[in-house]
């Protein structure tokens, strides 16, 4: 049986058997409905209370995570109780040691898996485009991670993590839409859909300023039948990544953050890192984002300009949305056959702390 690869993000969980040049077979919301303790099935189905197992990239609700993984492995992927296989987990940047240990404990003690491995998302996203060195800019639902990687090892001292992400851009869009459509009450899921359909990046900050003065407007019908107008708001979402002051943050834009991150690594590696920049996360597929990123790169303070690595043609479309999962599928084909993973015997002998020695 092939190993299972799991990439659990704040918004979506990607899972599937390790087939490297295919998309994950399961892409499901991470957020779950809160189960009323003594409720009937009807109560559960009607409940609007939700729980987020993963917040800003890290597992926060372990009971909910256990339920989500049980559904994924046994219902979604068809595992049989008593015949569990091997799992490779993708690991977010700066994951606390205690979280890693608790995950390993859950895997071996609750799910009785036969083997476990974890690898950092930045490394895996580079594997997905055929690199072992480079820099990833990962814009997730709940965080932005910038991670230089040299020879398959994340340079943690130079890495940067920001507690903003797609959810904050959604909130920004909701505020902007509220200004131009003051009689409409927006819910988060509607704004998420609007963001995915309409958001785009202006060519540069001059072009952005022009969109704020005059911009083509479109009509959009909400699920409840209300019609709203969408115009300049669509550009504000993307611009916030290059001008964080729009979000009320005193920070440099994302390209300058990348350059500053690399500047703390030994100068002999600057070219290798900047010229192998990989964009990851659903947000980077926004219309015009790559073009704007490259335009900003041509203007940045660095003598060496960041340049983006394109995914190989044989890789699935929309690779940026699940590149860590694809890299995990590639790595699983190496670590499990070569017995580089943690086994149940390893776990029983040493306990959860072995994950730090065996996997990173």
Which pair of structure tokens corresponds to residue 133?
């060195």
Looking at the domain assignment, is residue 137 inside a domain? yes
Residues 58 and 22 in one domain: yes
The yes-or-no verdict on residue 52 having pLDDT over 60 is yes
Question: Residues 6 or more apart from 42 whose CB is under 8 A from it?
Answer: none
Domain at 291, CATH number? 3.30.420.40
In a shared domain, residues 217 and 268: no
- Both tokens of 320, joined, read 């940026």
The pLDDT value recorded for residue 46 is 56
311 within some domain = no
- Continuous segment of H or E residues that includes residue 12: strand 12-17
Last residue of a domain, one of 215, 244, 273: 244
Range 334-337 contact pairs with CB under 8 angstroms and sequence separation of 24 or more:
335/88, 335/117, 336/3, 336/86, 336/88, 336/115, 336/117
Q: How far is CA 220 from the centre of its chain?
A: 28
Q: Could you tell me the residue range of the domain that residue 55 belongs to? A: 4-121+318-359
**Domain count within the chain:** 3
| Mean pLDDT to the nearest integer, 204-228 | 92
Q: Are residues 160 and 294 in the same domain?
A: yes
Residues 227 and 272 in one domain: no
Per the domain annotation, does 309 fall within a domain? Answer: no
Is residue 235 within 8 A of residue 206, CB to CB? The reply is: no
Same domain? For 157 and 261 the reply is yes
Q: Do 347 and 354 meet the contact criterion of CB atoms below 8 Å apart? A: yes
Per-residue pLDDT for 47 more than 70? no
* Domain final residue, candidates 227, 244, 261: 244
Residue 308 lies in a domain: no
The H helix count followed by the E strand count for the chain is 14, 17
Q: Facing residues of 90 across strands? A: 119
200 in the same domain as 85: no
Strands (E), 39-141: 50-51, 54-55, 58-59, 86-91, 115-120, 134-139
pLDDT higher than 70, residue 44: no
> What percent of the chain is modeled with pLDDT above 90?
86
Say yes or no: 28 and 48 in one domain. yes
35 pLDDT band, cuts 50/70/90, is low
Task: Dump pLDDT digits (tens) for 317-327.
Answer: 889 999 999 99
- Residues 226 and 82: their CA atoms lie apart, in Å, by 52
pLDDT of residue 127: 97
Q: Are residues 171 and 160 in the same domain?
A: no
Q: Residue 237 CB: number of other CB atoms within 10 A?
A: 24
The position carrying tokens 């989500």 is 68
Does 310 map to a domain?
Answer: no
135 in the same domain as 16? no
Identify whether 178 is part of a domain: yes
| pLDDT given for residue 303 in this prediction | 84
| Structural Rg of the chain based on CA atoms | 21
CB atoms within 10 A of CB 76: 17
Confidence of residue 253 (pLDDT cuts 50, 70, 90): very high
| Residue 39 clears pLDDT 60, i.e. is over it | no
Taking residues 85-99, report their average pLDDT: 96
Answer yes or no: is 312 within a domain.
Answer: no
Residue 126 has pLDDT above 80, yes or no: yes
Q: Is the pLDDT of residue 315 over 70?
A: yes
Q: Provide the pLDDT confidence category of residue 259 given band limits of 50, 70 and 90.
A: very high
Angstrom distance (rounded) from CA 271 to CA 276: 8
At 9, list the tokens. Answer: 């993000």
What pLDDT, on a 0 to 100 scale, did the predictor assign at position 34?
74
Mean pLDDT of 261-285: 94
Query: pLDDT value at position 57?
Result: 92
Return the closest-CA partner of residue 248 out of 344, 191, 169.
169
Question: For 183-203, what is each residue's pLDDT tens digit?
Answer: 998 999 999 999 999 999 999
Say whether both 219 and 294 belong to one domain. Answer: no
The H or E element spanning position 6 is strand 4-8
Q: What is the mean pLDDT of the chain?
A: 93
The residue among 244, 263, 281 that closes a domain is 244
Residue 154 has pLDDT above 70, yes or no: yes
Specify the CATH number for the domain of residue 200: 3.90.640.10
Do 139 and 181 fall within a single domain?
A: no
Cβ pair 302, 274 in contact under 8 A: yes
pLDDT at 37: 62
Question: How sure is the predictor about 316, in pLDDT bands with cuts at 50, 70 and 90?
Answer: confident
Please state the φ and ψ torsions of residue 250, each to the nearest 5 degrees.
Answer: -90, 90
Question: 40 pLDDT exceeds 60?
Answer: no
Establish if 304 belongs to a structural domain: no
Query: In terms of domains, do 89 and 235 share one?
Result: no
CA distance 240 to 249: 10
**Cα(124)–Cα(119) distance, integer angstroms:** 7
- Report percent pLDDT > 70 for the chain: 96
């Amino acid at each position: 049986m092939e190993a299972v690869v799991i990439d659990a993000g704040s918004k979506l969980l990607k899972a599937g058997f390790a087939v490297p040049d295919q998309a994950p077979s399961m892409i499901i919301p991470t957020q779950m409905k809160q189960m009323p303790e003594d409720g009937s099935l009807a109560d559960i189905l009607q409940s609007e209370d939700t729980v987020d197992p993963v917040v800003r990239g890290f597992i926060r609700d372990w009971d909910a995570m256990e339920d989500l993984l049980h559904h994924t492995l046994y219902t979604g992927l068809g595992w049989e109780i008593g015949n569990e296989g091997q799992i490779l987990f993708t690991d977010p940047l700066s994951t606390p040691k205690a979280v890693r240990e608790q995950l390993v404990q859950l895997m071996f003690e609750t799910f009785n898996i036969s083997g476990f491995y974890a690898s950092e998302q930045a490394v895996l996203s580079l594997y997905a485009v055929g690199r072992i060195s480079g820099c990833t800019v990962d814009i997730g639902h709940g965080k932005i991670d910038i991670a230089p990687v040299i020879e398959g090892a994340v340079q943690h001292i130079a890495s940067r993590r920001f507690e903003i992400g797609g959810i904050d851009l959604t909130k920004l869009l909701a505020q902007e839409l509220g200004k131009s459509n003051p009689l409409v009450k927006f819910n988060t899921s509607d704004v998420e859909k609007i963001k995915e359909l309409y958001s785009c990046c202006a060519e540069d900050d001059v072009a952005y300023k022009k969109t704020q003065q005059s911009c083509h407007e479109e009509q959009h019908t909400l699920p409840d039948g209300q019609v709203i107008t969408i115009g300049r708001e669509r550009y504000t979402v993307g611009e916030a990544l290059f001008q964080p002051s729009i979000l009320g943050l005193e920070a440099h834009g994302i390209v300058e953050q990348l350059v500053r991150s690399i500047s703390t690594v030994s100068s002999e590696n600057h070219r290798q890192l900047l010229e192998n920049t990989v964009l990851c996360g659903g947000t980077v597929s926004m219309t015009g984002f790559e073009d704007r990123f490259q335009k900003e790169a041509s203007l940045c303070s660095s003598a060496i300009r960041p340049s983006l690595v394109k995914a190989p043609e044989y890789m699935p479309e929309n690779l940026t949305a699940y590149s860590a999962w694809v890299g995990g599928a590639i790595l699983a084909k190496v670590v499990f056959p070569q017995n580089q993973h943690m086994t149940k015997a390893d776990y029983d002998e040493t306990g959860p702390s072995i994950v730090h020695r065996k996997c990173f």
